[in-house]
Amino acid sequence: MLRRACRKSTLVRCGLTCGTACALSVASRCFTRRTLDTLPGAPRLPPFVPPHLDAAQEALYSDIVDTRLHIIGREALFDEAGALRGPWNPEVASPALGRHLERFATAVRSENSLEARVYEVAILVVGVHWRAQFEWYAHEKIARDAGVPEAALPLIKAAAPADELARVLRPDELAVYKLSLELMETKRVSAATYAETKAALGNDDRKMADLSLTLGCYGAVSTLLNMFEVPVPTGEPLPFPAQ
């Protein structure tokens, strides 16, 4: 077993109090790649942490810590040993591509013409479709904070028909839910659903494009999460039954 001398709490406190440089320094003391590769039940990807990173990997690692820590919090960003959770460790494994997905996801959050409460509904639908455990774990909290009604969350998680959410979601949220669910289930969007959603979003072509790009971005994120079997934090219930 890994020695507990370097605990996640130490890494996270450093990230919160003295920035990425301190977090990187602590991480470099917490890991030896050879040890981690031989742990029982080791993840499909080893943790990519300093000092086992090349320059491009370290730059992306630093950017992720800087931009994500205050958004999702320490429990969602770092695992029990201090490595990056979620899609971020796979992104760091391949920074030439991973940095573009990270920028894409950042743009979805910061430059989206849709309100956060609206695009978070779409992200949740993608997570349900993929049964991406970490995706739901992280974005249920974000969606709640963005204003998605609490009563809607179990219905979205169950992929309930759109009419069951009609009294729970706002009209624009409901339209986005219906389109997203239809696209995930049928791989197509009917003319009627498209027209209905566009009308609910103010007949705004940019919002329709941003909705599609949001769905595509988090489809890519869910692919990383499922292919590398990214877990939720220890002690957290699985959002979906284990397969």
214, pLDDT greater than 60: yes
What residue spans define the domains of the chain?
8-108, 114-227
Q: Is 177 exposed, middle or buried (0-12, 13-18, 19+ CB in 10 A)?
A: buried
| Total-model pTM | 0.84
Assess contact for 226 and 132: CB atoms under 8 A. Answer: yes
Q: Grade residue 24 by pLDDT with cuts at 50, 70 and 90.
A: low
Residue 91: half-sphere exposure toward Cβ, Cα within 13 Å = 26
How far is CA 107 from each of CA 35, 45, 114, 156, 217, rounded to the nearest angstrom? Answer: 36, 26, 12, 24, 10
Assess contact for 230 and 79: CB atoms under 8 A. Answer: no
Nearest CA to 200 out of 167, 169, 158, 232 is that of 169
Q: What is the pLDDT of residue 2?
A: 36
Assess contact for 30 and 100: CB atoms under 8 A. Answer: no
36, pLDDT greater than 90: no
* Mean pLDDT calculated for residue range 40-51: 80
Q: Grade residue 8 by pLDDT with cuts at 50, 70 and 90.
A: very low
pLDDT tens digits for range 71-94:
888 888 998 777 899 999 999 999
Q: What is the pLDDT of residue 72?
A: 86
193, pLDDT greater than 70: yes
Domain at 114-227: CATH architecture: Up-down Bundle (1.20)
Q: What is the pLDDT of residue 41?
A: 54
Assess contact for 193 and 228: CB atoms under 8 A. Answer: no
220, pLDDT greater than 90: yes
pLDDT tens digits for range 146-166:
999 999 999 999 999 999 999
